[in-house]
Structure 1
Amino acid sequence: MRAWAKITLCFTLALSGLVGWAARGEAQTSDLVSTSSLRVCADPGNLPMSGKEQPGYENKLADLIGEKLGLPVTYTWYPMATGFVRNTLKAKTCDVIMGYAQGHELVLNTNHYLTSVFALIVPKEGDLADVTTLSDEALKGKRIGIIAGSPPADHMARNGLIGKAKPYALVVDRRYESPAENMLNDLDEGTIDAAILWGPIGGPLVKSDHPDLKVIPLIHETLPPKMYYRITMGVRQGEKVWQRKLNSLIRRHQDEINAILAEAGVPMVNDMGDAVLDVMQ
């Protein structure tokens, strides 16, 4: 689940002696951004986010940004695994990654356009349909699918749910395997009783292919690790002019961005991750 694999470190740098150097660097790196097309770095097999044969919602976001810039959208395709940023954005073959967790040191983040959260997914009909927290007694003894190493695993362990859990791989080549889709298929078939997925993956998959399942954003988990994350666009370090241009587009067209995300089925929460946004779907 590479959307989660992006979510790691934060960084800060403040050295006044480098101000003059940084200004020169900005002028140089800004020239790398194409003026003839919106060059997007993307995974060719990462639905529901991006896909080469079938568009995902990040492809639709790229189309929106390209339209506002008056530029056609072109892609550099590369599996989102180790080396993705190095072989795309840093190789200067593309200029923006449409979905990247806020605070990652490999890119310069724009302002966030989405805050989302991990979600519990259960059958619409059944004894788990009204569960809202992982401490609910109704979950005791249930077999729950979980992406190995993701933050909800800590919460499951704290609540005594890990013993019967079924783990699914964290990092795979999504052109050939999809742990999230496997998990939801297992839930449909009754192999597991519930599933926990990163909302921007689980929500759209449920909406498109699993009509008998229900997505419950886990907004009431107050102990660490946190369950919500802010999603930005990622550009090359130093390209502040390009970052500001994208920030302006995000600010002026947030309603249109929200509409794309809502149509896809992405659960959206407030910036503190403790309330679901009331966005028309």
Structure 2
Amino acid sequence: MPAWATSLRALICLAAIGAASVGAAQTSDLVSRNAFRVCADPANFPISDKAEAGYENELAGLFAQKLGLPVRYTWFPQATGFIRNTLNARQCDVVIGYAQGHELVLNTNHYFTSVYVLIVPRTGDLAGVETLDDGRLKGRRIGIIAGTPPAAHMARNGLIGMARPYNLVVDRRHENPAQDMLDDLGAGRIDAAILWGPLGGPLVKSSYPEMKVIPLVGETLPPRLFFRITMGVRQGEKVWQRKLNGLIRRHQEEIDAILIEAGVPLVNDLGSGVLEPRK
């Protein structure tokens, strides 16, 4: 074989090897093979906390078990800079709960849908309320996390004037607006509270048995009050996303059981009806 042909063949082989390496880099995500590395808030009970008592901690344990890996956490307050300092800094590889469609992460398939809830005393006339246009809410002091979607519904129904706002973006190691709101409800400082269901439902179940959780599935006008929840991974990590999607699909009943046991109100994908626990 002529020398030029031998050199050409070598170049072709090198190019093929290089292309294969690029392909491997594109399809083999740079995630840990030694641990299920989770980005999480250390003080966001009942969702997650450093004692690993939240339901997202339990979900992380389930996924780690299915992967045959230990769980390893990177703790950071879930406020401004959370994704930048955890997932995008490659300190961890997955956020267990993230709203579908958020541009900061690549979303997996959603594994549950939930909705904002109205929380009222279990006894009394407000226990029968189902929508925010109910006349029984007129003139009542209602707690609301400032800037959240239900505030627009409250304004539409003339409920903002006596509303009591609580901070939205906080470091929960130092401030806990949801718990403060429920404590105020228990003490009679407000008459009702509106919270994101996956936060309010488990809090009531664990610590406020005298209160009733009412999923706001009857609100038909915008903004919507229901959201589909996914896991979040780094943009571009399609292989890792597909692996998690497969785990979600195969273990949905176990995921549902953890969420229901925690007290998370599950609704259908259109947010129009509460899902009953599977028998």
Equivalenced residues, count: 260
2:104 is aligned with 1:106: yes
Letter matched to residue 92 of structure 1: R
Letter matched to residue 218 of structure 2: H
Using the TM superposition, give the Cα deviation of residue 32 of structure 1 relative to its aligned residue in structure 2, in angstroms: 1.1
SS at match of 1:245: helix
Q: Which of structures 1 and 2 has the bigger CA Rg?
A: 2
Q: Deviations over 1:76-111 (max 9, x none)?
A: 111111111111111111100000000000100000
Does structure 1 conserve the Cα–Cα contact (< 8 Å) formed by 2:52 and 2:58?
Answer: no
Letter matched to residue 25 of structure 2: A
Match of 1:85 in 2: 83
* TM-score, scaled to structure 2: 0.90
Letter matched to residue 108 of structure 2: T
Q: Residues 26 and 175 from structure 1, CA distance in 2 versus in 1: closer, same or farther, beyond 3 angstroms? A: farther
Q: Deviations over 1:36-93 (max 9, x none)?
A: 1100011111111110024200000000000011111001111111111111111111
In 2, the alpha carbon distance for the partners of 1:59 and 1:32 equals 23
Aligned partner (choices 146, 149, 161) of residue 147 of structure 2 = 149
Match of 2:180 in 1: 182
Letter matched to residue 79 of structure 1: P
Q: Residues 134 and 24 from structure 1, CA distance in 2 versus in 1: closer, same or farther, beyond 3 angstroms? A: farther
Match of 2:265 in 1: 267
Match of 1:236 in 2: 234
Match of 1:257 in 2: 255
In 1, the alpha carbon distance for the partners of 2:229 and 2:24 equals 24
Match of 2:34 in 1: 36
Does structure 2 conserve the Cα–Cα contact (< 8 Å) formed by 1:132 and 1:216?
Answer: yes
Q: Residues 25 and 43 from structure 1, CA distance in 2 versus in 1: closer, same or farther, beyond 3 angstroms? A: farther
In 1, the alpha carbon distance for the partners of 2:121 and 2:71 equals 39
Letter matched to residue 110 of structure 1: T
In 2, the alpha carbon distance for the partners of 1:36 and 1:54 equals 20
Q: Residues 121 and 64 from structure 1, CA distance in 2 versus in 1: closer, same or farther, beyond 3 angstroms? A: same
Q: Residues 54 and 41 from structure 1, CA distance in 2 versus in 1: closer, same or farther, beyond 3 angstroms? A: closer
2:59 is aligned with 1:65: no
Which stretch has the larger CA shift, 52-61 or 127-136?
52-61
SS at match of 1:74: strand
**RMSD after superposition:** 1.6
Does structure 2 conserve the Cα–Cα contact (< 8 Å) formed by 1:26 and 1:238?
Answer: no
2:137 is aligned with 1:118: no
Match of 1:12 in 2: none
Structure 2 unaligned regions, length at least 5: 1-18
In 1, the alpha carbon distance for the partners of 2:46 and 2:23 equals 36
Letter matched to residue 82 of structure 2: F
Match of 1:46 in 2: 44
Structure 1 unaligned regions, length at least 5: 1-20
In 2, the alpha carbon distance for the partners of 1:118 and 1:231 equals 13
Using the TM superposition, give the Cα deviation of residue 24 of structure 1 relative to its aligned residue in structure 2, in angstroms: 4.9
Q: Residues 26 and 259 from structure 1, CA distance in 2 versus in 1: closer, same or farther, beyond 3 angstroms? A: farther
Q: Residues 275 and 75 from structure 1, CA distance in 2 versus in 1: closer, same or farther, beyond 3 angstroms? A: same
In 1, the alpha carbon distance for the partners of 2:215 and 2:79 equals 26
Aligned partner (choices 209, 212, 215) of residue 214 of structure 1 = 212
Q: Deviations over 1:104-156 (max 9, x none)?
A: 00100000001000000000000100100000011111100000010000000
